[in-house]
A and B are shown apart, each in its own frame.
Chain A
């Protein structure tokens, strides 16, 4: 099962790269011109995300560097310990929606210290595999089209993140 999915992942992009131009050619589309015409927007789309990402990543960066994140983790850990949530993985839970790179760094550190097959190691692996960098994705996606009012998107993302966290904790206790 796992091997099959892995193979699909490896082949997906080469196959798209083969099939799409070929199908277009059969339909008598001028392939080179059409590709260039579409690709023209690439630069502006990417550059448009700069102000939004700068705003977001500056806040995330100072939050982490100032020690506020650690303080928040220390504050909540006594309560969370009671429900079987190890304090060591809390920084990961806080960082995960904000920064993919920072969360991965924390996860790698925990795995290194506690061992990949320990309960904490498996829990943090599950947490890393499940959730996404919600805030980062919202900023990037909305930013690329100039959306400034996110309406309820943040609330939805946070509810999903909290659920995933609770579900990871539950299933880790059940399985490991």
Chain B
């Protein structure tokens, strides 16, 4: 699916730009995109290094395992394929907590640490495991209790009630999360049944 979306975006963009006689935009935009991507990756080095260090300490102190044990009822339901008390569960919980609190500097590194652990269980395959798909479903649909950035923008443009959107945000995310977990279950069954 990702192949079609990727190719589709590029082909459509070039046709549209060509039809408008504005083909130079493509060259410029392509290199701008590549530039942004590298900058994002480079900026990940510092926070990844920091959090990997902290996580190693937390693991050595037994904190990650303790956290995994604490949330076992939920994770056992969501991730039946991960052995209980596996460090992956600790990292997943840390990632989701950081997401809920809107701590993007902690959420991404924790998520990547969780993927690293999940990949160990996946035997370093190039194909996503069931647990990875579930994790990403929960991660991308995760509830944010404090949408800090947008509240800041509302405030900047003189909103009388900048936090009035918190309630609607929580409602909409709750709907999205329910569908994400359900869809993940259904797709997993279909895919495993078809043997993919």
Contacts and interface: CB of A to CB of B under 8 A. Distances in A.
B133 A57 contact: no
A133 B161 CA distance: 26
B167 interface: yes
Interface residues of B, number: 111
A42 to B, nearest CB: 3
Given A29-B57, A138-B136, A149-B127, A13 B176 contact: no
Interface in B85-129: 97-98, 101-103, 105-106, 108, 111-112, 115-116, 118-119, 124-128
Nearest to A58: B33
Chain A, interface residues (CB within 8 Å), range = 35 or more
B166 A2 contact: yes
Contact of A66 (B17, B57, B63, B171): B17
B12 interface: yes
B196 A151 contact: yes
A53 B41 CA distance: 8
A145 B116 CA distance: 6
A42 B128 contact: no
A175 interface: yes
B11 to A, nearest CB: 10
B20 A67 contact: yes
A59 to B, nearest CB: 4
Contacts of B74: none
